[in-house]
Amino acid sequence: MDLLTTLMASILILLAFQLNEKWILFGIVGLLILNQKSFGEIISVIILTLVLWALQSTEISSLWPAVLIGILIVFFLLGQKQSKGLPDYYGPEGGGLEGLMG
């Protein structure tokens, strides 16, 4: 899940918690789960929802910006993948151009 989607989802989830609209919350979480590409991203949406719910039900709800930034940093670190490097421009046999060179 990219950071923009995580940020928008967390803001919408926080808004649904603030308005006490459970059907909007279930709709947002359901759409996010349906649009994810891997099981790890689904787990991250569920963790995001549980953390934001725990934040709203405690007395430290004034710290939600710091918690949101922490969640974004964790998701950014978890979402980074090792790049395989650039592929070779030509194949190992020269790209099939040996016949044109004489």
Q: Please answer whether residues 95 and 26 qualify as being in contact, where contact means their C-beta atoms are separated by less than 8 angstroms.
A: no
pTM comes to 0.60
Calculate mean pLDDT across residues 62-81: 76
Q: What single-letter DSSP state applies at residue 59?
A: T
Question: Which residue in this structure is represented by tokens 């934040």?
Answer: 55
Domain boundaries, the chain: 3-79
Calculate mean pLDDT across residues 30-42: 81
Q: Return the ∠ at Cα 47 (arms to 72 and 32), rounded to 5°.
A: 80
Q: How confident is the model at residue 92 (pLDDT cuts 50, 70, 90)?
A: low
pLDDT at 51 over 60: yes
> Residue 39 phi/psi, 5° resolution?
-65, -35
Q: How confident is the model at residue 7 (pLDDT cuts 50, 70, 90)?
A: confident
